Amino acid sequence: MTDQQHEDQLHTARTLAEALPYMRRFTGQTFVIKYGGHAMGDTALADQFARDVVLMKQVGINPVVVHGGGPQIGAMLERLKIQSSFIDGLRVTDADTVDIVEMVLSGSINKAVVTAINGAGGVAVGISGKDGRLIEARQLKRTTQDPDSNIEKVLDLGFVGEPVRINPTLLQTFAQSDLIPVIAPIGVGENGETYNINADTAAGKIAETLKASKLVMLTDIAGVLDGDGELISKMTADQADQLTRDGVIKGGMIPKLETCLSAVAQGVGAAHILDGRLPHVLLLEAFTAAGVGTMIEG
């Protein structure tokens, strides 16, 4: 054995030793993981994500994966020559579009994630929010104000929904088994309507309902950044509110942070915004002392 091989083995042993207390701490706990962005599109990162999820299940954590798929939906709509538009970052979803959204999310994307986890040694089961009425939803309402008349107008987003109730029974059954649920964020309305739901929002609502130990959001940035562009490792709700008022937190980070803050306020142990482009980011957050990304606490 060379000196380098010996050092590599020692490094592995130290890593396992460091991880042990966290494995014991989180045994039996639920992690809700929103999976999307670059991490989903990169084959190597997707394989690492799958192995990380399987390892979590193996050491007694109950991972619940909720995936997005905006770019893939956009590509399919373009391929089928179906025009789509956005309001406040939300895709306006008419009857034709919602069929494509459901096909892509519940079909090709969901099964690709399931296949990756199964290939890594897990037993994943793909479902949508319509299965077992897991995600009951209603139409999402948005308003805009006319700058001249100041009259508020209700915007019609079509079949874009917001979750109103999560049925935990199905997920509790998974938690008591070897199965790993992989959820497509499609909701079902009171009369059986199909609703396209933002994956962040769906993950947050599921985490709240399950009183998860962690809500983990995988993004394409390091986490929440301060005014100097430096990573904020830990933040409270009060700090988040102040940074938003100061204009430091803006754009697409605002709704992600609002989802995290709502989850923590409703009993989720902690919410994490992580860089999904970082190899094994889930393990680094869960099983090391330093952690990565931004953690939001109450």
Q: Are 159 and 102 in contact (CB under 8 A)?
A: no
Q: Average pLDDT of 1-5?
A: 69
- Determine which helix (DSSP H) or strand (DSSP E) holds 267, and give its type and residue range: none
Which of 144-153, 181-190, 224-233, 259-268 shows the lowest mean pLDDT across its residues?
Answer: 144-153
Mean pLDDT in residue range 156-180: 90
Note the pLDDT of residue 12.
67
Q: Is pLDDT above 60 for 43?
A: yes
Spatial contact of 57 and 173, defined as CB atoms under 8 Å apart: no
CA dist 283 and 285 (Å) reads 5
For the chain, which domains are there? Answer: 28-290 (3.40.1160.10)
Q: Is pLDDT of 103 > 80?
A: yes
Evaluate the CA torsion angle 61, 255, 208, 196 in order and state its sign: negative
| Residue predicted with more confidence, 137 or 230 | 137
Contact 127, 184 (CB under 8 A): yes
| Strand residues in 38-160 grouped as ranges (E) | 62-67, 86-87, 90-91, 123-128, 135-139, 142-145, 152-155
Average pLDDT value over all residues in the chain: 87
Question: Is pLDDT of 168 > 80?
Answer: yes
Query: Residue 95 has what pLDDT?
Result: 83
Residue 232 has pLDDT above 80, yes or no: yes
More confident residue, 231 or 94: 231
Report which of residues 187 and 256 the model is more confident about. Answer: 187
Using the predicted structure, report yes or no on whether residue 197 has a pLDDT greater than 70.
Answer: yes
Q: Quote the CA–CA distance of 170 and 125 in Å, as a whole number.
A: 12
For the chain, the residue count is 298
Whether 15 has a pLDDT exceeding 90, the answer reads no
* pLDDT of the residue at 251: 77
87-103: burial string, b at 16+ Cβ within 10 Å, e else: eeebbbbeeebbebbbe
What is the tens place of the pLDDT at every residue in 61-98? 999 999 998 888 888 888 888 877 777 667 777 888 88
What percentage of the chain carries pLDDT values higher than 90? 51
Least confident of 83-92, 158-167, 254-263: 83-92
Q: pLDDT per residue over 237-248, tens digit each?
A: 888 888 888 888
What pLDDT is attached to residue 156? 67
pLDDT in tens, 125-155: 999 999 999 999 999 877 665 555 555 555 6
